[in-house]
Amino acid sequence: MMGWVNLISLLAMALAMAIMLGRLFAGPTLYDRVLAANSFGTKTVLLLLIFSLLVGRADGVDIALLYALINFVATIAILKFFRYRSLEVALAQMSLRRAIDGDDE
Amino acid sequence: MTEFDWTQLLDYSLMAMLLAVGIAIVRLRNLFAIVMLMGVYSLISAAWFVSLDAVDVAFTEAAVGAGISTVLMLAAMLLTAREAEPVKAGRHWAALIVVSVTGAALFYAVGDMPIYGDPNSAANAYVGMDYITSTPNEIAVPNVVTAVLASYRGFDTFGETVVIFAAGLGVMLLLGLNAAKKEAGK
C-alpha cells in the first residue's frame, strides 16, 4: 500500500519536473528561467527523497542534501552574475560600492 | 517476479527530459538560459544515476556538473558575449556525420558486451568478486564503489584531488584574484 503511494508521488513529481522544464524552455525573461531552474532543483531533491523511500536505501538522502546546497549556490551565482556582471567581488562589498558611488541601477 | 517494474517509468521519463533539455540547449541562443539548462541537465542525469544505483557517480555529477560547472560557465561568460551566433547550416552536417559514426560504432560495440549481471563477465569473475566479498569485513562501508574509491584506492583519489586543487589554484592566480584586487582598489 505504502509503496503505491510513494510510486504515484514519484511519478507526479516527475510530471511536475517536466512542467517546470516547459517554463525553463519558453520563459521569456531570465527571472522566469531562474525561478524555474530553482524550482526544478527543489523538485529533484524531493524526487530523490521519495525514490530512496521507495527502494528503501538511505544513500539518496545524502545526495538530496547535496543537491539542495548546490541548487542554492548555483541560483545565487546566476543572480549575482546577472545583477553585478562579476563573480569575483563579495556581495557585501558590492552593496557598499553601490552606496558609495550612488550607482542606483 | 514477472510483475512490471514501475520504477522503470521514472527512468524513461528522466531520459525523455534529458533529450528535451539537450535539444533545447542546441536550439536556444541566450547563453544565460543555456548555462542554466546545462545545470538542469546535470541534475537530471544525476537523478537518473541514483535510480540506476550509481550513487557515487551521481554525487560527483551533482557536485561537478551542477555546482562547479555552472559557476565556471558564468565566469567564462564574463569574457564573451551574452548571445550565441547562429551556426552555419554546412557545419551542422559535419557534426551530424561525426555523431552518427560515433553512435554507430558504440551500437556495434554493444553486441560484444556481456549480458547485464552475467556472473562470468570480466567485471564479476576476477578481482571484482573479491572486493564484494571482503569489503563488508575490511572497510565496513555499505557501498562497494565508495569503499574502493575512498579506502582501497585512497591515495590515488587523494592525488587526484591534489592535482585538481593545484590546477584550480593556478587558474585563479593567473586570472581571478588579480582582477578582483584591481577592481576593488579602483
- Model pLDDT, residue B103: 94
Question: Rounded to a whole number, what is the distance in Å from the CA of B108 to chain A's nearest CA?
Answer: 32
Report the alpha-carbon distance of residue B146 to residue B125 in Å, rounded.
Answer: 20
- Model pLDDT, residue B186: 45
- Residue linked to cell 554507430: B104
Question: Rounded to a whole number, what is the distance in Å from the CA of A17 to chain B's nearest CA?
Answer: 9
- Model pLDDT, residue B126: 76
Tell me if A81 sits within 8 A of B74, measured CB to CB: yes
CATH 1.20.120.1200 for domain B1-84, yes or no, is yes
**With the CA atoms of B168, A42, A82 and A31 taken in that order, what torsion angle do they form, in degrees rounded to the nearest 10?**
160
Chain A partners of B41 at a C-beta cutoff of 8 Å? none
- Model pLDDT, residue B176: 64
Of the candidates B9, B59, B180, the beta carbon closest to that of A11 is on B9
> Which of the residues in chain A have pLDDT under 50?
104-105
Residue span of the structural domain in which A75 resides:
2-101
Rounded to the nearest 5°, which phi and psi values hold at B83? -120, 145
Max CA separation in chain B (angstroms): 71
State yes or no: ipTM above 0.95. no
Distance, C-alpha B73 to centroid of its chain: 15
Tell me if B70 sits within 8 A of B17, measured CB to CB: no
- CB contact under 8 Å between B51 and A73, yes or no, is no
Of the candidates A17, A67, A88, the beta carbon closest to that of B17 is on A17
Tell me if A44 sits within 8 A of A21, measured CB to CB: no
Q: Is the dihedral of CA B144, B150, B155, B158 positive or negative?
A: positive
Q: What is the domain count for chain A? A: 1
Q: Domain locations in chain B? A: 1-84
